[in-house]
């Protein structure tokens, strides 16, 4: 889930399609400037010179975003959001991971109740190995967009070349592609062309932990 320290570009706010809020980019531009939303400027798509502006929503809008994302998950076939379990459902942990420089793995984890039969048939994995992760940052854009919720197979703890994983390095969790080099080094790659790959030596790679494999499901299906 999210907290009040998350920033969104105008394009990301528009994509959320929040009820009673602008349905055009121009409308959002006008709203954030009129209401004086706090912002930051970061490298990435969507701005002149490779720099885009991201805004921190006020608490009332942030609460609406959280509720809107939860409702979106609830509408997925086989998914059920509740504070209590019913027969045939299992609690699935829901955390955040950065498609960027990383998020402290001590951040809070929520839970959702999902139908076990749906997990087995749609995802093809054991329900005990499923995790949900909210993407933060834009380093995996356009494959993964800031704010999307992806399914992760935590039963996968070793990597194969060029697949997408949730990894932990130095206590921070990130979503990245991994590639094993011929010299034994590990290349950490992003899908955003503006983000340079990171090269870990064999010794440095010893601290890399694979949390799970990102599955091609995020409030719907997509290509990895």
Which of the two residues, 103 and 29, has the higher pLDDT score?
29
Residues linked to residue 51 through DSSP beta bridges, in sequence order: 43
Which of the two residues, 51 and 198, has the higher pLDDT score?
198
This model's pTM is above 0.75: no
pLDDT average, residue stretch 107-135: 84
Element (H, E) at 214: strand 209-214
12-32 residue pLDDT tens: 788 777 888 998 989 999 999
Query: In this structure, which topology does domain 76-214 adopt according to CATH?
Result: Umud Fragment, subunit A (2.10.109)
Lowest mean pLDDT among 57-61, 65-69, 100-104, 216-220: 100-104
| Per-residue pLDDT, 53 | 86
pLDDT average, residue stretch 5-18: 77
Task: Look at residue 42 and tell me whether its pLDDT is greater than 90.
Answer: no
| Per-residue pLDDT, 106 | 45
Q: Categorize the per-residue pLDDT at 127 as very low, low, confident or very high, splitting at 50, 70 and 90.
A: very high
Domain residue extents for the chain: 1-58, 76-214
Q: Categorize the per-residue pLDDT at 105 as very low, low, confident or very high, splitting at 50, 70 and 90.
A: low
Task: Look at residue 156 and tell me whether its pLDDT is greater than 90.
Answer: yes
Task: Report d(CA 179, CA 128) in Å as an integer.
Answer: 27
Task: Look at residue 86 and tell me whether its pLDDT is greater than 80.
Answer: no
Q: What's the chain's average pLDDT?
A: 80
Lowest mean pLDDT among 38-42, 44-48, 113-117, 149-153: 44-48
pLDDT average, residue stretch 61-82: 64
Residues linked to residue 189 through DSSP beta bridges, in sequence order: 177
Task: Report d(CA 189, CA 12) in Å as an integer.
Answer: 23
| Per-residue pLDDT, 69 | 58
CB 92 within 8 A of CB 112: yes
The answer for residues whose C-beta is within 8 angstroms of residue 84's C-beta and 6 or more apart is: 113
The burial class, CB within 10 Å (0-12 / 13-18 / 19+), for 54 is buried
| Per-residue pLDDT, 224 | 57
Residues linked to residue 9 through DSSP beta bridges, in sequence order: 54
| Per-residue pLDDT, 2 | 37
Task: Look at residue 212 and tell me whether its pLDDT is greater than 90.
Answer: yes
CB 217 within 8 A of CB 123: yes
Q: Categorize the per-residue pLDDT at 102 as very low, low, confident or very high, splitting at 50, 70 and 90.
A: very low
Whose CA is closest to 178, among 166, 170, 196? 166
């Amino acid at each position: 889930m999210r907290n009040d320290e998350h920033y969104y570009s105008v394009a990301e706010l528009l994509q959320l399609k929040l009820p009673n809020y602008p349905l055009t980019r121009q409308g959002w531009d006008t709203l954030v400037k009129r209401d004086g939303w706090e912002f930051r400027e970061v490298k990435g798509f969507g701005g002149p010179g490779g720099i885009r502006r991201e805004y921190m929503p006020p608490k009332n809008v942030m609460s609406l975003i959280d509720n809107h994302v939860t409702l979106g998950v609830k509408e997925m076939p086989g998914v059920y959001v509740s504070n209590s379990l019913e027969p045939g459902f299992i609690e699935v942990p829901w955390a955040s991971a950065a498609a960027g420089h990383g998020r402290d793995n001590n951040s809070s984890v929520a839970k959702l109740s999902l139908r076990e039969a749906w997990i087995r048939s749609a995802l093809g994995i054991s329900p005990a190995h499923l995790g949900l992760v909210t993407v933060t940052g834009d380093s995996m854009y356009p494959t993964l967009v800031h704010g999307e919720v992806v399914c992760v197979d935590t039963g996968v703890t070793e990597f194969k070349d060029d697949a997408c994983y949730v990894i932990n390095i130095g206590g921070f969790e990130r979503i990245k592609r991994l590639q094993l080099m011929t010299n034994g080094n590990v290349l950490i790659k992003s899908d955003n062309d503006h983000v340079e790959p990171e090269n870990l030596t064999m010794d440095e790679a010893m601290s890399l932990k694979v949390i799970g494999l990102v599955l091609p499901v995020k409030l719907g299906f997509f290509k990895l």
